[in-house]
Structure 1
Amino acid sequence: MTNVYSFDGILVFGLLFICTCAYLKKVPRLNSWLLSEKKGVWGVFYKAAVIGTRLHIAVAISCLAMAFYVVFLK
């Protein structure tokens, strides 16, 4: 179980947040509702979705590396 207050817990949360927002960007109804704002608090979802779609290879490799770390090394 990963602790949210540890550094690796924050990394896991960040990666899952980016992956979730990138997935939600592909769903038309949720894209217009959740990711329409580009500024403010709701803009964080939009920015995470942009990071997830533009850097999808780096995010995927980071997810695999973090999964390996959590399952085997921790």
Structure 2
Amino acid sequence: MTNVYSLDGILVFGLMLICTCAYLKKVPRINNWLLSEKKGVWGVFYKAAIIGTRLHIAVAISCLTMAFYIVFLK
């Protein structure tokens, strides 16, 4: 288990947020409800979805690297 207050915990949380929002962008009802706001607090989810869809290769490599780090090195 990673601690949220450590650097690797924050990185895991950020990657999971980006991956989840990018996945939820493909679901029409959730896309209209959750990802319709582009500003404010709800805009964080929209921006995370955009990062996940545009940089999908870099996000995937980061997820694999973080998983290797947590499983084998930590």
Normalised TM-score (structure 2)? 0.99
1:12 to partner: Cα distance: 0.2
Matches within 5 A, 1:53-72: 53-72=53-72
Q: Aligned-pair RMSD on alpha carbons?
A: 0.2
Residue 27 of structure 1 corresponds to which residue in structure 2? 27
* Aligned 1:7-18 pairs, distance under 5 A: 7-18=7-18
Number of equivalent positions: 74
Question: For residues 65 and 34 of structure 2, what CA distance do their matches in structure 1 show?
Answer: 29
Q: TM-score, normalised by structure 1?
A: 0.99
How far apart are residue 60 of structure 1 and its match?
Answer: 0.1
Question: Following the alignment from structure 2 to structure 1, what is the Cα–Cα distance between the partners of residues 68 and 62?
Answer: 10
**CA apart distance, 1:48:** 0.2
User: What amino acid sits opposite 1:68 in the alignment?
Assistant: F
Identity of aligned residues (%): 89
Corresponding letter in the other structure for 2:26: K
Which residue type is aligned with residue 18 of structure 2?
A: I
Runs of 4+ off more than 2 Å: none
